[in-house]
Amino acid sequence: MPTLTRSFVKASLIALILGLVAGIWPQIPGAAITGLFPIYLHLLTFGWLTQLIFGIAIWMFPVYSKEHPRGPEWLGWSIFACLNLGLLLRVIFEPLQGISPSTFGGWMLVLAAVLQWLAGVGFIANVWTRVRGK
């Protein structure tokens, strides 16, 4: 399994654990935080499921070329960085905006949105030409 895929899979497992913790939190009496439910959902669907799919697809889909079987290395790592940095910003600033809204926090959410979108576009660019016959 290539290093990039191992990073995706391990990060997805961390997101799974964090997502489950975010699910436990509101069950504690008096500990509910506004903005935590979207975090719970996105840690599980984006951080866990989508990230796991990205990692495995980059590894297992038909090769890109002989020289770069899994596509350009820089693109793979950029997808990984954008996905996890975007998710981290969201995990930090979405609940913070619920507790104490600020312009800075608002812009951090915009940045999180852009980074996550770039991760998706990067993944599509990586695998689109690899979806082919023999």
Partner 1 sequence: MPRLSRFFIRASLVYLFLGFTFGALILANKGILFAPLVWALLPAHIELMFLGWMTQLALGVAFWILPRLGSSTPRGDERWSWAAFILVNLGILVLVLSPLAGIPWLGLLARALQTLGFAAFALGNWQRIYPPKFPNIKGSI
Answer yes or no whether residue 21 interacts with partner 1 by CB under 8 A: no
Contacts of 13 (CB under 8 A, 6+ apart): 48
Please identify, among the stretches 6-14, 23-31, 49-57, 72-80, the one whose residues bind partner 1 according to the rule CB under 8 A.
49-57
Alpha carbon distance 86, 94 (integer Å)? 12
What one-letter code names the amino acid at 94?
E
SS3 133: coil
With CA atoms as reference, report the closest residue to 129 among 81, 75, 82.
Answer: 75
Answer yes or no whether residue 117 interacts with partner 1 by CB under 8 A: yes
Q: Binding-site residue total for partner 1 (CB under 8 A)?
A: 31
Q: Which is nearer to partner 1, 24 or 104 (CB)?
A: 104
Q: Is the dihedral of CA 44, 50, 51, 56 positive or negative?
A: positive
Tokens representing residue 120 in the block: 């998706």
Answer yes or no whether residue 1 interacts with partner 1 by CB under 8 A: no
Answer yes or no whether residue 109 interacts with partner 1 by CB under 8 A: yes
Contact positions toward partner 1, by CB under 8 A? 45, 49-50, 53, 62, 90, 93-94, 97, 103, 105-110, 112-114, 116-117, 120-121, 123-124, 127-128, 131-134
